[in-house]
Structures are given as structure tokens and as C-alpha cells.
């Protein structure tokens, strides 16, 4: 509950802080995987188009977005696309339980301290960042509805064509 309160306060204060926007270099981070102790860093995905997705088990729209992004990832992975999801639950078990109901095949890391959303200046949940092969943010997407998926896939495909 403390995490939800802190994240809510951070989201309220986010407009007062510098939020990452289109054209910015994506802030680097290294976080533990939600399953296991291995760590992943955003830097290790350089050269790929990355959809960086911040989510939590209590996020209603995430029930649609995570599985739909799984489908796009599976379709475009061989072309250099990857999804990296950052779970923001205070208790990692809540994120693991969510993924049992809504499984995905892409990497999921955990940020129980909430430092990464602060780095990015999150302004809502879920929030995702489409990052090009050079590490620059090309799209910031706040919220999610099923009708968003077509436009997201179109933008991802455009970025994959650029070398």
C-alpha cells in the first residue's frame, strides 16, 4: 500500500518534474527480473527497437496491454523488436500473480523502490516509451485502450525499417 501511495504522489508531482519526452535519450537502468535474481539493463537492448512498458498489478488497462504487446513482440522480434516491462508493485509477488493470469513471453523486471518511474517522470499508468535503435525516445504513450494497438504497431514497424 505504501508503494501505491508513493507512486500516486509521484504521478501527481510528475508534471512539476522533467518528464522524458520524444527526442530525449532514454534513461539507463539495471533492475532484477521479476522471476529470479538475474538483472537486466536497458543498455543491453541497444540496437533494437524497444517498447518500455511501466505497469502494476492494480492497473486495469494493463490486463489488455501486456498480452497485446506480447503478440506484437512475437510477430516482430526477429526484425529487432523487444518489449521490456517494468513492474512497479511494492510486493513482487503481486506482479507474479498478475502474470499467471496474463502471461507474457517478454522480459519483465521489478522496481520495488520506484526509482525508474522517477527517472522517466511517469505521468500516468500504464506509461510506455518506444525507444529507437540508438536509444532515443520516439513515442511516449500514457494509458492504454484496445484501439491504440494498431497505431503502436504501425510506429514500431516504421522504426524497425530504419537502420
Across the chain, which has 163 residues, the per-10-residue mean pLDDT values are 52 59 95 91 96 94 90 95 96 94 94 93 91 96 90 95 86
DSSP assignments along 89-116, one per residue: -SSHHHHHHHHHHS--SS-EEE-TT-HH
Is the bond preceding residue 126 a cis peptide, omega within 30 degrees? yes
Q: Please tell me the distance from the alpha carbon of residue 25 to that of residue 37, in angstroms, as a whole number.
A: 27
User: What is the reported pLDDT for 8?
Assistant: 53
User: What is the reported pLDDT for 14?
Assistant: 46
CATH class given for the domain over 2-161: alpha beta
Q: Identify which of 127, 126, 136, 128 has the alpha carbon closest to the alpha carbon of residue 159.
A: 136
Q: Work out the angle at residue 156's Cα, subtended by the Cα atoms of residues 49 and 100, and round it to the nearest 5 degrees.
A: 80
Amino acid at each position: 500500500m505504501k508503494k501505491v501511495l508513493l507512486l500516486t504522489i509521484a504521478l501527481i508531482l510528475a508534471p512539476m518534474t522533467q518528464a522524458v519526452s520524444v527526442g530525449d535519450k532514454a534513461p539507463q537502468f539495471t533492475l532484477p527480473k521479476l522471476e529470479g535474481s538475474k538483472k537486466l539493463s536497458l543498455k543491453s537492448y541497444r540496437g533494437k527497437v524497444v517498447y518500455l512498458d511501466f505497469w502494476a498489478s492494480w492497473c486495469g488497462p494493463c490486463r489488455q496491454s501486456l498480452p497485446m504487446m506480447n503478440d506484437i513482440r512475437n510477430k516482430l522480434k526477429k526484425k529487432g523488436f523487444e518489449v521490456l516491462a517494468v513492474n512497479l508493485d511494492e510486493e513482487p509477488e503481486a506482479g507474479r500473480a498478475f502474470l499467471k493470469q496474463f502471461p507474457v513471453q517478454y522480459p519483465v523486471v521489478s522496481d520495488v523502490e520506484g526509482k525508474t518511474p522517477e527517472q522517466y517522470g511517469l505521468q500516468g499508468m500504464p506509461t510506455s516509451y518506444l525507444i529507437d535503435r540508438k536509444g532515443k525516445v520516439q513515442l511516449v504513450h500514457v494509458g492504454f485502450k484496445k484501439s491504440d494497438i494498431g497505431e503502436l504497431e504501425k510506429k514500431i514497424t516504421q522504426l524497425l525499417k530504419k537502420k
